[in-house]
Amino acid sequence: MADDTDPLRDLYPFLHGDRQDPDAVNAALLESVHQKAAHSLEVKRDFFARNGQAVVEAARAIAAVYRRGGRMLAMGNGGSSCDAAHFAVEFLHPITTGRPALTAINLASDPTMLTAVGNDVGFAHVFVRQLIALGRPGDGLMGFSTSGNSDNLLKAYAKAREMGLTTLGLAGGDGGEMVRCAELDHCLVVATDSIHRVQEVHVATYHILWDLVHTLLADERGGLETPP
């Protein structure tokens, strides 16, 4: 006889040979959509309410990098490597008419380099090695980590400080080691344990940073073909 009191039966009816009710499933999925969207908005509102001025200061730091002729370098692992790529392309290929391209280099873009260094020296050095070759005093380094504990980012920040770069980072949770990193000039932390919500706020943040940086550079901005 089937055990109708099993609390897992409602959650996993297929394990008991039962079929799910399509209407009930659709209602549950729809509610999940509403709850996740509401949570995403709540986390964004909380982050920007707490960190609005810190976002402005980070934008000022990036604008200062470009104002003195520097470039931005970006890094991240996994999904955060996609954020590094997105961050870089926003500056390299501005979608708003009249805003010039600004040099940004994604350190997570070359699988040959990443696997060579990871295999020969160790994954903790995949960004440091590139930073040594590509970084110049006056450049900026932006890192993305949902946990704030990525060892290869922390090592890169230490090398960046040694080389005279401005350092910025976006983290999640409690900020991990990034928020305690003495070599990090600006660290913005999305205070939630949900990796998806952290990444959503990171995207919104660097979109805002991109816009603020161009606003701050408006006085130096030339035409479409004129470098800043």
CATH number at residue 141: 3.40.50.10490
On whether residue 77 sits in a domain, the answer given is yes
On whether residue 60 sits in a domain, the answer given is yes
On whether residue 225 sits in a domain, the answer given is no
- Closest listed residue to residue 79, CA positions, set 199, 203, 205: 199
- Closest listed residue to residue 103, CA positions, set 126, 136, 54, 149: 136
- Closest listed residue to residue 202, CA positions, set 105, 32, 78: 78
**Residue 5 banded pLDDT, cuts 50, 70, 90:** low
On whether residue 11 sits in a domain, the answer given is no
Q: What is the pLDDT of residues 158-183, one digit of tens each?
A: 999 999 999 999 999 999 999 999 99
Query: C-alpha distances in angstroms, 33 versus 39, 40, 132, 221?
Result: 10, 11, 45, 42
The whole-angstrom separation of Cα 160 and Cα 136 is 9
Single pTM value for the model: 0.87
Mean pLDDT, residues 184-194: 97
Contacts of 217 (CB under 8 A, 6+ apart): 63, 66, 67, 228
Mean pLDDT, residues 188-207: 98
The whole-angstrom separation of Cα 47 and Cα 107 is 27
Q: What is the pLDDT of residues 136-158, one digit of tens each?
A: 999 999 999 999 999 999 999 99
Domain coverage including residue 212: 51-220
Q: What percent of the chain has pLDDT over 90?
A: 80
Number of domains in the chain: 1
